[in-house]
Amino acid sequence: MSNYTQGVCHDGAAILKDGQPLTIEKILEALREREVLIEDRARFPDRPDGVGRMIEAHIKNKDAATKSANEYAEMWRRRMEKAERQLAKVEQERDALAAHLDQLGYVLVDAKRSAAVIAFPSNYKASDYQAFAKEVIANIEKLSQQTPATSLACRDLTKQSEALVALYNDCLGHGGDGMVRCAIMLDRSIELREEAEGHQ
């Protein structure tokens, strides 16, 4: 058990615990603990040692509960971090699949048009749609080799390109420096569009 003594430290007289000076807060805490001990001993005058053991057991239980709570909190913090990483991964996969599905939608619309030419030959002249049908087949082959992640990259680049074109159109009326910036944005938009087409 720690001993409280009066002593001298580098900045004057102080109350020491195990040879170390105590702050006012620590001194008040020690006094409160002693008051509780005195009250407990007053309630159980015939068993002071038993009360001391009860208090010691209570402190050990409190320390064990605190340690257990800290370990539990740390476990949940790790689980939350893992769940956040998994959620980010799932959201990225979801976005990639959504972009892939968008591209499939465009190909399906074109395939439906090509099928209509075959299904209703009296309404269409097949020779007029031959080049279109070849393009649809090429798009289907290209898409079948593409991964959802590639579709997502393509979609993101296309959206960035579209945003720059919209900004370019908004800036056109400003003249002077605005025209130079517009030209730079338009060049970047074209680069992004070409990069997106390279992903397809």
Can you give the residue ranges of every domain in the chain? 147-200
pLDDT > 70 in the chain, percent: 76
Does residue 50 surpass a pLDDT of 80? Answer: no
Mean predicted lDDT score pLDDT of the chain? 74
The CA-atom distances, in angstroms, between 18 and each of 4, 34, 53, 164 are: 7, 17, 22, 70
Does residue 65 surpass a pLDDT of 70? Answer: yes
Cα separation of 61 and 123, whole Å?
Answer: 87
Strand partners, 4: 17
This prediction has a pTM of: 0.40
Tokens encoding 70: 């800290």
Instruction: Give the model's pLDDT for residue 32.
Output: 85
Lowest mean pLDDT among 43-47, 52-56, 112-116: 43-47
Instruction: Give the model's pLDDT for residue 1.
Output: 43
* Coarse DSSP helix, strand, coil percentages of the chain, rounded to the nearest 5 percent: 80, 5, 10
Lowest mean pLDDT among 49-53, 134-138, 140-144: 49-53
